[in-house]
Every structure is written in structure tokens, then in C-alpha cells.
Structure 1
Amino acid sequence: MTDAFLPTAPVGSLPKPSWLAEPETLWSPWKLEGEELAEGKQDALRSAVHEQHRRGIDVVSDGEQTRQHFVTTFIERLTGVDFERRETVRIRDRYDASVPTVVGAVSREKPVFVEDAKFLRAQTDQPIKWALPGPMTMIDTLSDRHYRSREKLAWEFATILNEEARELEAAGVDIIQFDEPAFNVFFDDVQDWGVATLERAAEGLRAETAVHICYGYGITANTAWKATLGSEWRQYEASFPLLQRSTLDIVSLECHHSRVPMDLIELIRGKKVMLGAIDVASHAVETPEEVADTLRAALEFVDADKLLPSTNCGMAPLPRGVALEKLSALKAGADIVRAELAAVRS
């Protein structure tokens, strides 16, 4: 993937420029239309790549600059989903949202993100990562009036995601990441069919595959939920043993300023770990030493050659300047630990 030691990578979204979409807002409507919007999205993606280069990020992402939302933008390109027929559902058993409705058989008639991925590939010689929603998180962001079975719809989405992932790989994507925050909520489903559908989505890929499981964006509904979780957040205890035995290459988790016991990482020993060392629920920019402290603590439970310093989650709701400074802090903290490990080896 990359020759860098402790390669840094953002998990998902970066804030969009204020001329493209409303700042610090999820599902923010576009401020441009037609050809201007298409050009504006590419300009924003180009800018996101430039900032990652400038701040020393090793594995470059698109920052989700061309999509409104990490789940619904993929779903809206599929057939069988009616975005005019909306219903209110409980998202991840946490907050209510107006979502589209599955009214028929779902299918992908043409690639969704492949052209955007090709554009990203043309902007950098560094490894690139592309995020897709995972099957369980997709069904949790919809009202299903057709299949009436969470599992059946998840298997359908897994097949569609695999089609997209194979084309992203052909477009030059090095890491394909599936976002599954729902894995921190629906533990029985994760065991019964969640990991299996995720493996179906990743089936046959030569690119590295990652699953990202977090406690959500730094929005009020998520921070309020976290406040109810007590002194230890042990949700990963349910999914990590299953993922350790899975075909996925990388597990991405929220760590910094969380109450996740660090020793839970031992449960995925042998996998690569994309460790969240940047808090996306705070405007305070971490110091390099704070990032380094998080990475040092994790190294007791993950081998250094399998550690990828990262962010806890996407940063779309943050002020743009804050998010970019956090990327700089991520790199600086990784540099501290790289130097320490190099000194020990010499």
C-alpha cells in the first residue's frame, strides 16, 4: 500500500469549502447547480488533496467532497429507492431522520463513484482510499417497504457494493473502506449476518479492505448518546472477535478522547488497525504530543507495522480550518512516534 511507517490517513469526510456547501452542516445542500456544481466538486476535491499533501498525510482520500452524505449519496444512485417518498425512522437507535423508501428491487445500473475516484487517482501519486457505506449502515438509513427484511436487503446491498468496489479497484483505489457505525448498535445482527454481508461486499478484491466502526460524527445526537454509555465503552467487544476472523484487512476504530478500553484492540491482533487519534467532536486541535500519547498506548496491543494513525470519524461538521489543523497534528504526532521507534531499532 505505502512505504511509509505508521502511515497517516483521514477516515472519511473533510469540511467542504463554503462556496460549495453550507459549512459545519451534515446533508448541506449544494450552493451551485449544473455544470458549475460539477466543476465546483472537482475543485473542492482537488483542494482536499492539496491540503492532505501539504499537511503530510500518507494515504489520501477524496474527503467526500463530491457527495452530500456518506450513505445517502450512494443510495440515491440506485434503482428501487424512492427519494420523494420519505418516512421518519430512528437512525442507529439514536435519533430520528427523514429518509427515502425502498419500493422495489434495488440495483446499480451504472457506477456511482468511479469517475470521482479516477479524478482522485489523477491528483496524486500517493496511495488513495475510498469509503463506501457498509450494508448494515445502508439499511439503517432507509425505510424498507419492499423486502421487509433487514438481512435480505443487506445481502442485496452487499452485492451492489461489491460491484462498485471492484470498479473502484480497477480505477486505482488502494484501500476500499466500508463504513459500519451500525456495528456499534445492532450486536445480534452483526453476529448473525452483519460481518458475513460485509465480507460479501469485499469479496474478491485485491485492494486492501477496511471496515470503519465509530461512535458517529461530532453532532449533538451522537455526543448525547455517548454521555449515556458510562465510564467504559465496550461496544467493540462484540464485533472485534468476529472481525479478527474475517477476511477484512483493516479495522478502523474511534479511540482518542473516547472511553474505549485500549486493551480491546488486542481482540483484533493480526489485523491492521486504523486508530482514531483525532477527536472529531471537539474544536480543540490536539497537540502532537497528545496524538503521540494515543499511538503509544495502542502499540501495546497492535504491532507497529500494522498501525495506521487516523481520525476518529469524518470531520465534515467541523470548521474547515480546525479540521485541517487536526490533520497537521495527526502527522506531527505520528512523526514523534516514528522517531521514537526508529531510535529503539537503531
Structure 2
Amino acid sequence: MKTLLPTSTAGSLPKPAWLAQPEVLWSPWKLEGQALVDGKQDALRVSLHEQLLAGVDIVSDGEQTRQHFVTTFIEHLDGVDFENRKTVKIRDRYDASVPTVVGPISRQKPVFVADAKFLRQQTRQPIKWALPGPMTMVDTLYDDHYKSREKLAWEFAKVLNQEAKELEAAGVDIIQFDEPAFNVFFDEVNDWGIACLERAIEGLKCETAVHICYGYGIKANTDWKKTLGSQWRQYEQVLPKLQKSNIDIISLECHNSRVPVELLSLVRGKKVMVGAIDVATDTIETPEEVAATLREALRYVDADKLYPCTNCGMAPLARDVARGKLNALSAGAEIVRKEILSTPLPDA
């Protein structure tokens, strides 16, 4: 029987201290060679175990084998020079030193497929795997070759599609594309961003998702949020076109945000991963707070299409905080699940 309100995470979970520096994005590995290979697999096992203990229904690798949700994929592509770095403004918010596109983009070999096979061997639960979306990849690089954000995005969409098809063959149930850039570059999203995303999912039979959030709980993001006013209506710009797209699931930030919950009505008919856990605070939600967010969402999303989730990745959080938040997510979903199942159906 299909689980009602199946829970999942948006992506990353904290890495153990023996693998990488805790609570730091882009943290370098503490191991090398075969020890690093083994360490990543051990961390993936631990991350999976913690999700299962917390009662998470749709599990992931916790992004334990990658340093960063975008650049780890790009590292494995031809045409990008990681030594030749430039400073660019990412998401129109903060400066970062990024690699340079110096030639045609191509993918010579799978990037995450071996990791996905390893995860598949460890569990019978449904698996979700996150990939960076084409527009967010473009926004995390300096392009010295195509000289066009759109052209580069189409090239990334092609290689993402190759990877996604192999992930599907490895047993992944949901492939999620992370597109925080969709909350910033609205004209580009509607002109070509969603079209590129549809190119990335072309031919897939597994479910597909797009995750659009306001970012990790890092200072650059929290400072930006303070400038957005009393209502965050960015989703209003992109959800209508996404509602008409071929993407199956739309993952959004909701809890403790100033996103008007009625904006969820713009994607009615789609499955929605509703962010019910705030990743920008160490405060652990109560199950009742999670339940309250889900009840609000249920005014605009049918119960069979609502997937309780985290707002974003939790890599920058302490492990005990992330663990507590996962427990709260599951407990809050269970409260609402029981309420739905105990409500008598209206007479026909």
C-alpha cells in the first residue's frame, strides 16, 4: 500500500567529523585514496541508517560522497577548468571563486551511478537522488567558451539527461534537480530554464522533481532573506509554467518562511514536497509545528500529492540537530496522517 504523506529530505545531511569538517559547506575531505572511498561509503551507510531510524519514507544518500551539490558533478565533466578560477556573484547574492568553462561540455563516464547502486543495495525503501539543475550549474561557473547562459544550460541539460538515465537504471525512484536559481532569474526561468529542465528529464520513466528554495542556512542567504519584505512571492513567477511542465514533483520551502501558502494553489495537480523543516536555525521543530505547516499546505495540495520534506539541505547543521529535525518531520507527518485517515469521508 502506498504511504500517505511520504517524508523525505531536500538533499544533504551533515557529514561525520572523521570524513569532513562538520557544519561547513565545501569542506575538504579528511581522508584520501582507498580510505576516502571506504569512508564515503561508511558515511552513506550512517546517513541512511539515521534516515531509517527517524522514519523517513523516501531516503537518499545524504550527499555524503560529494563536497558540494553543484561542483562535484561538474568536476567530472570535460570542458571545465578547476585550476583557472574566477570570482563571480552567485544567485545575485554572494561572490565565490568558481571554475571556468574553457571548451565543449561533455560527460565521459557516470558520476554518481556507482554510489546510487551502493545505496540501492542497502535498502528497499524508495530512493531519491539529487542532481544540480542546468540553470544553477550555469550560475556556479564562469563561462569563457559558450558566452551564453542559455547555450551552456542546454549543454548541461544533455549531460544531466545521460546521468539521470543511468541513475534510473541503477534503481533510483525519484530524480530531483536542484534549482535555487529559479528563485532569482525569473525571465530566464520562463524563457529557457524550464525547457532545459525538461530536456534533462527527457525519456525518464522514474518520477522527477525540481527543488526550488531560498538556500542553505548560510549568512549570505539569511541576509538576503531579510531584504525580501513581509511576503516572499518569488514562486509566483515560476510556478504557473512549472505547473504545465513534465516535472512530476515540485519541492518548495514553506516552514518559517514568508512564502504565502496560497501560492501552492499555482501548482494544483502536481505532487508537492512541502518544506516543513527550517534548515536556517538550530532550533528543532516540535512535531506539532511540522503538523501545522502540513495542515496549511493541505488547503491547497491534495493529501495524496503532499510529500513532507525539509526546506533545503542540512549539511551546515550539527548532526544531532539534523537528527532531531528528521524525527520531528516524521512525527509531524504521522500526526496529520492519522487526522486524515480518521476523518470520515463525506456521503456520496
Q: TM-score range by the shorter chain?
A: over 0.9
Deviation at 1:3, TM superposition (A): 1.6
Corresponding residue for 1:290?
289
* Counterpart in the other structure of 1:234: 233
Q: TM-score, normalised by structure 2?
A: 0.99
Indicate the residue corresponding to 1:207 in structure 2.
Answer: 206
> What residue number does 1:176 align with?
175
Q: Gaps (5+ residues) in structure 1?
A: none
Matched residues in 2 for 1:289 and 1:214: separation?
23
Which residue number in structure 2 is paired with residue 147 of structure 1? 146
Alignment match, 1:305: 304
Matched, 1:112 2:111: yes
Question: How far is the alpha carbon of 1:44 from its aligned partner?
Answer: 0.2
User: Secondary structure at the residue paired with 1:96?
Assistant: strand
Match of 2:260 in 1: 261
Q: Write the distance in 2 (CA, Å) between the matches of 1:55 and 1:147.
A: 45
**Residue-by-residue CA offset, 1:67-90 (whole Å, 9 max, x unaligned):** 000000000000000000000000
Give the aligned length.
345
2:174 partner amino acid: I
Q: SS at 2:210's partner residue? A: strand
| Aligned residue identity for 1:67 | R
Deviations 1:215-251 (A, max 9, x none): 0000000000000000000000011001000000000
Counterparts of 1:1-346 in structure 2, within 5 Å, are 3-345=2-344
Task: Spell out, residue by residue over 1:61-118, the C-alpha distance to the aligned partner (whole angstroms, 9 max, x if none).
Answer: 0000000000000000000000000000000000000000000001000000000000
* SS in structure 2 of the partner of residue 60 of structure 1: coil
SS for the counterpart of 1:61 is coil
What TM-score do you get using the length of structure 1 for normalisation? Answer: 0.99
Cα drift, residue 345 of structure 1: 3.5
Q: Structure 2: how far apart are the matches of 1:223 and 1:344?
A: 39
- Give me the whole-angstrom Cα distance separating, in 2, the residues matched to 1:102 and 1:159: 16
Write the distance in 1 (CA, Å) between the matches of 2:190 and 2:267.
Answer: 16
Whole-angstrom distance in 2 between the partners of 1:51 and 1:191: 38
CA 1:345–1:119 in 2, change beyond 3 Å: closer, same or farther? Answer: farther
SS in 1 for 2:284: coil
Distance 1:281 1:108 in 2: 34
CA–CA distance in 2 between the matches of 1:141 and 1:266?
31
The amino acid that maps onto 1:250 is I
Mapped partners of 1:181, 1:101: distance in 2: 21
Cα distance in structure 1, aligned partners of 2:46 and 2:122: 10
What is the distance in 1 between the residues matched to 2:228 and 2:260?
13
RMSD: 0.7
SS of the aligned residue for 2:100 comes to: strand
Residue by residue over 1:24-67, the C-alpha shift from the partner in whole angstroms, topping out at 9 and shown as x without a partner, is 00000000000000000000000011111111000000000000
State how far apart, in whole Å, the 2-side matches of 1:212 and 1:323 are: 19
Q: Which amino acid aligns with 1:178?
A: F
For structure 2, the 5+ residue unaligned runs are none
> Could you tell me how far apart the structure 2 residues matched to 1:324 and 1:156 are?
38
SS at match of 1:98: strand
**Per-residue deviation, residues 122-174 of structure 1 (Å, max 9, x unmatched):** 11000000000000000000000000000000000000000000000000000
Measured after TM superposition, the shift of residue 186 of structure 1 is 0.2
